[in-house]
Amino acid sequence: MNPGHSSPAHSNPAHSNPAHSNEDLLCIEKVLFTEEQIESRIIELAAEIEAHYRGRSLKLIGVLKGSVFFLAALTRRMSIPVRIDFLGISSFSQRSGAPGLVRISKDLDDSIEGEDVVLIEDIVDTGFTLRYLMQTLASRGPNSLAVCTFLDRTSRRIVQVPVDFRCFEIPDRFVVGFGLDYNQLYRNLNYVAVISTSRDTPM
Ligand code: IMP
Ligand code: MG
């Protein structure tokens, strides 16, 4: 989780009572997007991206680990030639409570020079992570660089970053599933759900 983002208020009992299902442990308030809704939106988005890059080949760069599920689902709906690569990042929170510093913990395997690149994110929240990644990738001389995010929470944006393609805009609530985690858990849910956090306001 990004340091600028407050953690869910309740401690996660996942470790104390393994007999409960994930849903019980998570206190899911509601499902925001079902598996079917995600799938049909991804089909639309894949078509949108293909139309934009027709006749070209694409390099999709997934940001580990959250974007893996989205990237896999998206690329399976695309028929133009795509290559994939991954970037791993770590965020460090600062004592001041200011947004965290980001650093690359796993770099790309290959150069992106001269390529049409689409950076694939799980969620864009404050925008700090994306701004750092865009600056880093832009300095490597791609032919073009665009951003595609699964979720976009524009209400929390602090730095302005370009989002070219997005699956869903979401309200100001902490979510898990389809790649998004809480304490590294729940990435594998095939839906996106809202869970409680200390900063949440009633919807
Ligand atoms: P940003 O730098 O504030 O835009 O942070 C984006 C990162 O914070 C994402 O890539 C996620 O790792 C994490 N994040 C933000 N909101 C959520 C959420 O609701 N659930 C899980 N992770 C989140
Ligand atoms: Mg991320």
Q: Are 29 and 195 in contact (CB under 8 A)?
A: yes
Residue 17 CA neighbour count, 13 Å, CB half: 10
Answer left, alpha or beta for residue 143, where phi above 0 means left and psi between -120 and 50 means alpha.
alpha
pTM: 0.85
If one residue of 1, 104, 152 were mutated to test the ligand 1 pocket, choosing by the most ligand atoms within 8 A of its CB, it would be: 1
Measured distance CA(88)–CA(123) in Å, rounded: 15
Say if residue 62's pLDDT is above 70. yes
Which residue out of 85, 109, 122, 125 is catalytically annotated? 125
CA-based nearest residue to 119, from 58, 177, 55, 73: 58
CB atoms closer than 10 angstroms to residue 105: 11
Q: Tell whether ligand 1 has an atom less than 6 A from the beta carbon of residue 127.
A: yes
CB-ligand 1 contact for 124 (6 Å cutoff): yes
* Tokens at 83, concatenated: 């290559």
What residue's CA is closest to ligand 1, atom 8? Answer: 2
pLDDT band at 91 (very low <50, low <70, confident <90, very high): confident
3 Cβ inside 6 Å of ligand 1 = no
Using CA positions, which residue lies closest to atom 7 of ligand 1?
A: 2
Rounded to the nearest 5°, which phi and psi values hold at 38?
Answer: -65, -45
- Beta strand pairing status for 174-176 and 165-169? unpaired
From CA 162, how far away is CA 115, in angstroms rounded?
A: 19
Q: What is the pLDDT of residue 197?
A: 59
Ligand 1, residue 121: give the atom nearest the CA: 10
Is the beta carbon of 174 within 6 A of some atom in ligand 1?
yes
State percent of the chain over pLDDT 90: 75
59 lines ligand 1 (CB under 6 A): no
Say if residues 192 and 178 touch (Cβ distance below 8 Å): yes
Which of 13-17, 31-35, 99-103 shows the lowest mean pLDDT across its residues? 13-17
pLDDT greater than 50 at residue 18:
no
And the tokens for 114? 């001269």
Ligand 1 pocket member 32 (CB < 6 A):
no
For residue 160, pLDDT beyond 70 = yes
Which ligand approaches the C-alpha of residue 32 most closely?
A: 1
Check if 125 is active-site. Answer: yes
Q: How confident is the model at residue 171 (pLDDT cuts 50, 70, 90)?
A: very high
Of all protein residues, the one whose alpha carbon is nearest to atom 12 of ligand 1 is: 1
Average pLDDT, the chain: 86
- Mean pLDDT for the stretch of residues 133-143: 97
